[in-house]
Amino acid sequence: MNPSPRTNTSRDEDPATLTLQSVAGYLDLMSRATPAPAAGSAAALAIGMGAALAGKTARLSANYREDTDELAHTADAIRKRAVALADADSHSVARAVPEGSTSQLDMSAVPRRIGDLAAELATLAQQLETGGNPWLIADARSVSFLANAAHAMIAEILHSNDEV
Q: What is the mean pLDDT of residues 142-152?
A: 98
**CB–CB of 34/87 below 8 Å?**
no
Domain 37-163 has CATH 1.10.510.10: no
Q: What is the pTM of this model?
A: 0.86
Q: Quick check: 62 pLDDT over 60?
A: yes
The pLDDT score that the predictor gives to residue 6 is: 34
Q: Quick check: 97 pLDDT over 80?
A: no
Residue spans of the domains in the chain: they are: 37-163
Among 15-24, 133-142, 144-153, which stretch is predicted with the lowest mean pLDDT? 15-24
More confident residue, 107 or 72: 72
Cα atoms in the Cβ-side hemisphere of radius 13 Å centred on 42: 16
Q: What percent of the chain has pLDDT over 90?
A: 67
Q: How far is CA 162 from CA 28, 108, 156, in A?
A: 29, 9, 10
